[in-house]
């Protein structure tokens, strides 16, 4: 059974960067996109962007453009999300989530599998 | 950007009762690309419904989704103790993908 296994909690200082990983355990990224969604404490869900691993192409929400970089290593079935210029408002749980990508990966799809989340705390 | 507004914010019900959750979009969600997720404290969201009305694998049939265009509904026919949670709708018809603010279903 495929699981998305995320890296552990991080504590970062304002202005620094954080890189969170997401590994597909028991499976591969074939036919899927990997999305990143964050949730600030007590708040709702916010989509940050996605990557199509077989193409290596990423799409980002305008809000995070220029500050977020999503990459993937197909050989290890691992995706990464790096967020730079961190501020206190970036304190959140960051989730990776899988979406099926059939014949047309330009289409967005629902998220059928989620990682357990990585808490990133930004504090001086 | 498609803004999703969920109502009510909180729904207080007893086990066995019917729950009706609403999700309204600021513009039409094409092809009914709307999903519903359930989230319990300390857990990741779980997919319940996709395509506005299709149940995800392993989801009990007491969960049903309906709607099209700008108005969508999630119905839980008879609440079980494990159904008390927060529910989010999500549109995936256009970027940026967006979520509603959530409806908390709590025990009355």
pLDDT tens column, B67-108: 999 999 999 999 999 999 999 999 999 999 999 999 999 999
Residue A115's pLDDT band, with cuts at 50, 70 and 90, is: very high
Q: Does A110 touch chain B (CB under 8 A)?
A: yes
- DSSP string for A69-124: EEEEEGGGTEEEEEE-S--GGG-EEEEEEEEE--S-TTS---EEEE---EEEEE--
Both structure tokens of A39: 């949730």
Query: Smallest Cα–Cα separation from B27: which of B88, B69, B73, B89?
Result: B69
Predicted confidence at residue A28, as pLDDT, reads 78
CA distance B67 to chain A (A): 17
Query: Smallest Cα–Cα separation from A100: which of A24, A40, A30?
Result: A30
Residue A1's pLDDT band, with cuts at 50, 70 and 90, is: confident
pLDDT tens column, B38-64: 999 999 999 999 999 999 999 999 999
Nearest to A47 among B50, B51, B96 (CB): B96
Residues 2-21 of chain A whose Cβ lies under 8 A from any Cβ of chain B: none
Residue A31's pLDDT band, with cuts at 50, 70 and 90, is: confident
Q: In this structure, how many other beta carbons lie within 10 angstroms of the beta carbon of residue A68?
A: 18
Predicted confidence at residue A29, as pLDDT, reads 79
pLDDT of residue B21 exceeding 90: yes
Tell which phi-psi region holds residue B16, choosing left (phi > 0), alpha (psi between -120 and 50) or beta: left
Residue A30's pLDDT band, with cuts at 50, 70 and 90, is: confident
Taking contacts as CB-CB distances below 8 angstroms, the residues of chain A near B47 are: 110-112
CB contact under 8 A, B96 and A115: no
Q: How far is CA A112 from the centre of its chain?
A: 14
Taking contacts as CB-CB distances below 8 angstroms, the residues of chain A near B35 are: 110-111
Predicted confidence at residue B8, as pLDDT, reads 97
CB contact under 8 A, A110 and B96: no
Both structure tokens of A61: 């929400």
Terminal Cα distance for chain A, rounded: 40
Q: In this structure, how many other beta carbons lie within 10 angstroms of the beta carbon of residue A56?
A: 11
pLDDT of residue A103 exceeding 80: no
Predicted confidence at residue B31, as pLDDT, reads 84
């Amino acid at each position: 059974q495929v699981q998305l296994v995320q890296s552990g909690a991080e504590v970062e200082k304002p202005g620094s960067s954080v890189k969170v990983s997401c590994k597909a355990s028991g499976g591969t990224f074939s036919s899927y996109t990997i999305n990143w969604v964050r949730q600030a404490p007590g708040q709702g869900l916010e989509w940050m962007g996605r990557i199509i691993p077989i193409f290596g192409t990423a799409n980002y929400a305008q809000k995070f453009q220029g500050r977020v970089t999503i990459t993937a290593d197909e050989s290890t079935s691992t995706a990464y999300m790096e967020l730079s210029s961190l501020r206190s408002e970036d304190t959140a749980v960051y989730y990776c989530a899988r979406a099926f990508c059939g014949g047309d990966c330009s289409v967005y799809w629902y998220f059928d599998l989620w990682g357990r989340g990585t808490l990133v705390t930004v504090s001086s | 950007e498609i803004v999703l507004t969920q109502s009510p914010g909180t729904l207080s019900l007893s086990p066995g009762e019917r729950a009706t959750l609403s999700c309204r979009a600021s513009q039409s969600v094409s092809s009914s690309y709307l999903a519903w997720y359930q989230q319990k404290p300390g857990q990741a969201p779980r997919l319940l419904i996709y395509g506005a009305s299709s149940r995800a694998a392993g989801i009990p049939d007491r969960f049903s989704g309906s709607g099209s265009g700008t108005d969508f509904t999630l119905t839980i026919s008879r609440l079980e103790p494990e159904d008390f949670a927060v529910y989010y709708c999500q549109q995936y018809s256009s970027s940026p993908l967006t979520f509603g603010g959530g409806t908390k279903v709590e025990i009355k």
